[in-house]
Amino acid sequence: MTRTAVLGAGALGLTVAYRLAQRGDEVIVLEREPLPGGLAAGFEIEPGIWLDRFYHHLFESDTNAIGLINELGLGDDLLWRRPLTVTLRDGTPHQLDSPTSLLRFGPLPLLDRIRMGAWLAYLRTLRGPARLEGHTAADWIRRRMGARAYDVVWGPLLRGKFGGLADEIAMPWFWARVHDRTAQLGYLRGGFQRLYDRLAERITEAGGTLRLGTEVQEIRSDPSGGLRVETTTGESLVVDRVVSTLAVRLTCRLAPELPDDYRSRHEWGTAYGAHCLVLALDRPLTQSYWMNVNDPGFPFMALVEHTNYMHRADYGGRHLVYLGNYRPMDDPLLRASTSEAVAQFSPHLARINPEFRPDWVTDAWSFSAPFAQPIVTVDYRDHIPPFDTPIPGLWVASMFQVYPHDRGQNYSIDLAERLVARLTR
């Protein structure tokens, strides 16, 4: 029986562990955090009521995630709705989530709207991004859709997500965002934590083990021919195989035996951290679910009013709003306390809803995570490592190997299924 240590209990690690355990392998999942779910984990806003730490939904094109949710018996609670998506421009929210809403999108002259619509339609019909390789999204969009479309719609979005690196993002990444987006959004009632709790249960039922609150510190070859995994809790496991689902850069730090040529090729590039301030309010703030904040001067890039999508009755009647950001990992916001984030963000809410008053806020939580957003530059593809590494028995599969799509639960699950197919062929 093969003994496998899986590092990380996010979507990827849990799917790998589940599939290997189903096959009868001995699986041990090692996870630093006290609960499974990784970036898609939730928190309790009151006992028994869970909310994702970072806003999450699925698209209809997320077939791997949908398939797994159905397989695990949670399909009846996967709800599909078409909530309102808007772009804040010149102080006004404009619906921008369909060809018709684009035709009515006032901040752009009509000819620019038609031009942008035609190029978006082209991207949706393009079956793969091969002919877009080598181009940056910024340059491609400016040339095809025009400078105004870039300045008003896409530039602020790219800068919101990638900051100063916005101009370097690869066009295939943008293609994937446009191509696979659907207006219907899916949400697992009760939060995606349920998916990861169910996976953890199934792994245990199949004989696997989950060690939560266990941070891996080092991976080394063992004289027995296997790999030795050391944890900060003082454990030392010898296994036949290690699957690391951590950012490639973190795996490189944990495995000192990885040779220099591997490091120089794959310990590469940069990633941003994510930050979300979650507010509970006693009344609605906006009418939309998703708001891209395209006006300058806001300290957050997206305002996601979860309870304009899911019923607030599921959340004790609260109105729940996420204020989201991606930032370089040394940005002070990622270490700010919740009250500091509230103090920084709440004055800007009156620019969105002039009636807003700080006493609408009944509760607040904040979350930050490192290595949450790969920066997909034009040469990113050349640095993605294969599943196997120069260390026999050490395998890597992480969301940093997802390309050209943006990271997402669906793509971590897909990568997990492909890795297991490779391990067991």
Return residues touching ligand FAD (CB under 6 A): 7-13, 30-33, 38-40, 54-58, 215-216, 245-246, 250, 274, 276, 324, 369, 372, 398-399, 407-410, 412
> What's the rounded Cα separation, in Å, for the pair 242 and 212?
17
- In the complex with ligand FAD, the residue whose CB is nearer, 112 or 251, is 251
Report the residue number, 3 or 253, with the smaller CB distance to ligand FAD: 253
Residue 37's region, left for phi above 0, alpha for psi from -120 to 50, else beta, is left
Q: Do the Cβ atoms of 39 and 54 come closer than 8 Å?
A: yes
Task: Output the smallest distance, CB 235 to ligand FAD, in A.
Answer: 11
Q: Which is nearer to ligand FAD, 146 or 324 (CB)?
A: 324
Backbone angles phi, psi at 249, to 5 degrees: -60, -40
Rounded least distance, CB 200 to ligand FAD, Å: 12
Nearest CB to ligand FAD, comparing residues 139 and 178: 178
Integer CA distances (angstroms), 423 to 6, 10, 299, in order? 13, 19, 45
Least Å distance, CB 140 to ligand FAD, is 24
Residue 253 CB, nearest approach to ligand FAD (Å): 9
User: Which residue in 216, 217, 243 sits closest to 395, CA to CA?
Assistant: 243
CB of 345 to ligand FAD, least distance (A): 15
Q: Which residue minimizes CB distance to ligand FAD?
A: 38
CA dihedral sign of residues 181, 185, 191, 194: negative
Nearer Cβ to ligand FAD, position 115 or 387?
387
Q: Are 62 and 182 in contact (CB under 8 A)?
A: no
Nearer to ligand FAD, 108 or 243 (CB): 243
Query: Shortest approach of ligand FAD to residue 229 CB, angstroms?
Result: 9
Residue 56's nearest CA partner among 227, 254, 192, 204 is: 192
CA distances from residue 157 to 27, 301, 303, 326, 422 in whole angstroms, order as listed: 41, 8, 13, 11, 37
Closest separation in Å from C-beta 156 to ligand FAD: 17
Q: What DSSP designation does 23 have?
A: T
Q: What is the edge-to-edge ordering of all strands in the sheet holding 26-30?
A: 209-211, 26-30, 3-7, 241-244, 394-396
Q: Which is nearer to ligand FAD, 166 or 246 (CB)?
A: 246
